[in-house]
Amino acid sequence: MNKINHIAIIMDGNGRWGRKKNKSRNFGHIKGIKIIEKLVKDSIKIKVPILTFYTFSTENWRRPKKEINFLFKLIDHYFFKEINNLVKNNIKINIVGNIKILPKKVRLRLIESMRRTNKCKKILINLAINYGSKNEILEAVRSMRRKKVSTSVKNFENNLYTKNLPDPDILIRTGGKKRLSNFLLWQLAYSEIYFVDKLWPDFNVTDYHRVIKDFKRVKRNFGNI
């Protein structure tokens, strides 16, 4: 039976869900946070140690400015409101991506959240914010050149945003689309990928367990016969 160390999730469909309910795309984003909370709680219960959520991609800057501003306000408000509960529940927060160009208030909130939860050990939640895998790969190459280290898989991986983390065992993408959307392209090389037709706010713990149950039965070869 396969052990799970890390599950990555592309939370696609929030905006479409909001429109489907005859409300705004932002209504879908609010609902989407509730699903994250449920999965984190369940993952603690079933002892999944690491979750990574694709929260805001480098391509998401092309969205309407009003929606982008709402997303950042939502992130800022969530951590302002929930940081004490995160610490109390022993949940560690880590940001994967280039947060240098985020609005100052949001950037400082995220840095503070990482600092406050740094010693938490029950589960690690990675939020991929202003993340794009192609940019990550290029930056890793540039970093290796600056450091003048030899070209090797180990040195390359040590310069990725995900250094010191195991690669995802599972990738879940909701929303009915079958693509990776510039997410963890290097890290997902041997992950089991599950595309789910449900929009993210409709995804639930039962769906989550169904994926995990299937994964545990899969024979993983990692390129071997």
- CA gyration radius, the chain: 17
Q: For residue 150, with 0-12 CB atoms within 10 Å meaning exposed, 13-18 middle and 19 or more buried, which class applies?
A: exposed
CA of 164: how far to CAs of 81, 99, 111, in Å?
29, 19, 19
**How far apart (Å, rounded) are the C-alpha atoms in residues 109 and 130?**
15
Enzyme catalytic residues: 12, 60
**Dihedral class, residue 195 (left if φ above 0, else alpha if ψ from -120 to 50, else beta):** beta
Distance from chain centroid for Cα 155 = 23
- Asked if residues 74 and 29 have their Cβ atoms less than 8 Å apart, the reply is yes
Q: For residue 188, which of 1, 8, 4 has the smallest C-alpha distance?
A: 8
**Dihedral class, residue 222 (left if φ above 0, else alpha if ψ from -120 to 50, else beta):** left
Distance from chain centroid for Cα 188 = 13
